[in-house]
Amino acid sequence: HAMAASGISDAIAAGITSIEHGIYLTEEIVAHMRRDGTFLVPTLNAPAAIAAGGLAAGIPEYMVRKSEVVVPPHVASFQLAHRAGVRIAAGADSGTPLNFHGSLLPELELMVKYGMTPLEAIRSATTIAADCLGLGGVTGRIAAGHAADLVVVAGDPAERIQALGELRLVLAAGRTIRREID
């Protein structure tokens, strides 16, 4: 987890393959990330959720204020990396306040809000995330020989990312896990 420019630069120089958060990216850092193939896992929702609803949820005011301060540079860093072609993998930073396990959709919605297409956001959570974890040869794609968990949703998430929250069928390891039919 690296937020500030100096920590990010040091991590890249040391050969770290992914930067989580990356709140204070610079053009120079982004150029190095692109050159070295370093992934960014922005976790946009971690501070955004606290900034938006932290006080009402009883989160200490100092944490809410800190989150409010970091959201604008965090968004700018995400946009800078995206424009530069840095490989961005979705990650939720689950377990942080108001950022619950199993809830990646708010992260994808923010990625789309701040410049990705819905299909880019989907890829960030599938193929790119698998590549980031070193698992691209076995999962993250619908391909022969790859493990795949699939969902069927209402609507087209490539057009409207929120459709990913409208589950109709969940298949995991070839088994039906959840079925919802209108």
Please state the domain extents for the chain.
5-138, 149-182
Per residue, what are the HEC states of the chain? Answer: CECCHHHHHHHHHCCCCEEEECCCCCHHHHHHHHHHCCEEECCCHHHHHHHHHCCCCCCCHHHHHHHHHHHHHHHHHHHHHHHHCCCECCCCCECECCCCCCCCHHHHHHHHHCCCCHHHHHHHHCHHHHHHCCCCCCECCCCCCCECCEEEECCCCCCCHHHHHCEEEEEECCEEEEECCC
pLDDT tens, position by position, 144-164 = 999 988 999 999 999 999 999
- pTM for the model stands at 0.93
3.20.20.140, 3.30.360.10, 1.10.10.410, 3.30.1540.10: CATH of 5-138:
3.20.20.140
Q: pLDDT above 70 covers what percent of the chain?
A: 99
Q: What is the pLDDT of residues 39-84, one digit of tens each?
A: 999 999 999 999 999 999 999 999 999 999 999 999 999 999 999 9
